[in-house]
Amino acid sequence: MKPHPWNESFTWEPHTARSGVVTQSQLDQFDELGYFVVENVYSPDELAELTRITDEAEEEAIAELKKQDGERFLISENGAITFAGQLVRQKPEIRPFVKNKTILGICADLIGPNVRMYHDQAVYKMTEKPRRFPWHQDNGYLYVEPQHYLTCWIALTDATIHNGCPQVVPGIHKDGTLAHYYVDTLGFECFEEPPVAPLVAEVKAGGAVFFSSLTPHLTGPNFTDSTRKAYIVQYAASDARVLEGNADAGESTGSHAISEEPRGIAVLENGVPTV
Ligand SMILES: O=C(O)CCC(=O)C(=O)O
């Protein structure tokens, strides 16, 4: 495991429970292992409405995939796994869900008083065709500074080891961003074999797995007959910047503020939820 070329120094800062939404021992687990699970983030009615929106987005993503050769594009493949991105931008009715009170309390504890929802996508995993899913850190895709931001993996259906719940490699987040290499059609990977045993993060529908952008993770195959549905939302400090350029070619060639990107919205300003 090598550090990402742009990760010249990194210190993991421990977090303190201030919002009252989660306990200090949950945050201690986050600091130690890089993740924790919170059940019942959404009520059954909220979950039904959120899923209605993501189902619609997934149908649109499938319609697009059907126009592609072999009905696939990179890792997305009709009948296997679909990614429907930028829903906050395209479907404003989803915005109240990314401003959920529990999630914003966790954002305040783990990121700070000024937070922007940075990226979102619905990921549906169908009964699996055998394929590898790469171990990756979310910051291994687009390099953001500060390197630590928060990924909230919301289960729209019960997520278990049998249908592709998240799995995380504990402890590695403390070293910051690792070098990633591209695995053709699948995406970026930081290692093929985890250096320590992965932990399985099962979560019931309506709950969420919270992990750092620095926590190596993947989701396993779906061996069941029904689709595993997730909505993944990422939150970063409002003044975070995306570094530009090709890491393999050397230094970053520039950067832009995440607030310049149309896919995100501010969710916390000076500790207060935005309207
Ligand atoms: O939800 C999934 O199946 C995988 C999503 C994931 O790991 C990601 O998009 O970073």
For residue 11, being part of any structural domain is answered with no
pLDDT of 133 > 90? The answer is: no
CA–centroid distance, 124 to ligand 1, in Å, is: 9
**pLDDT level of residue 48 (50, 70, 90 thresholds):** very high
pLDDT of 116 > 80? The answer is: yes
For residue 7, being part of any structural domain is answered with no
Taking only the tens place, the pLDDT of each residue in 3-46 is: 999 999 999 999 999 999 999 999 999 999 999 999 999 999 99
What residue owns the CA closest to ligand 1's atom 1?
A: 123
Total number of residues shown for the chain: 275
More confident residue, 207 or 247: 207
Q: What percent of the chain stands above pLDDT 70?
A: 99
Q: What is the pLDDT of residue 273?
A: 96
For residue 18, being part of any structural domain is answered with no
CATH number reported for the structural domain that contains residue 253 in this entry: 2.60.120.620
CA–centroid distance, 20 to ligand 1, in Å, is: 28
CA–centroid distance, 127 to ligand 1, in Å, is: 15
For residue 153, being part of any structural domain is answered with yes
Q: What is the pLDDT of residue 76?
A: 86
Beta-carbon contacts of residue 11 (< 8 Å; ≥ 6 apart): none
For residue 38, being part of any structural domain is answered with yes
Q: Count up the domains in the chain and report the number.
A: 1
Does ligand 1 lie within 6 Å of residue 159's CB atom?
no
Which atom number of ligand 1 is nearest to the Cα of residue 138?
Answer: 10
Mean pLDDT of all residues belonging to the chain: 95
pLDDT of 221 > 80? The answer is: yes
Report the DSSP beta bridge partners of residue 124.
82, 229
Burial of residue 130 (CB within 10 Å: 0-12, 13-18, 19+) is exposed
Work out the average pLDDT over 91-95: 97
Q: Domain span at residue 62?
A: 24-273
For residue 253, being part of any structural domain is answered with yes
For residue 9, being part of any structural domain is answered with no
CA–centroid distance, 204 to ligand 1, in Å, is: 17
pLDDT of 130 > 70? The answer is: no
Rounded Cα gap, residues 230 and 213, in angstroms? 17
Q: What is the pLDDT of residue 223?
A: 92
Which atom number of ligand 1 is nearest to the Cα of residue 83?
Answer: 9
For residue 16, being part of any structural domain is answered with no
Q: What percent of the chain stands above pLDDT 90?
A: 88
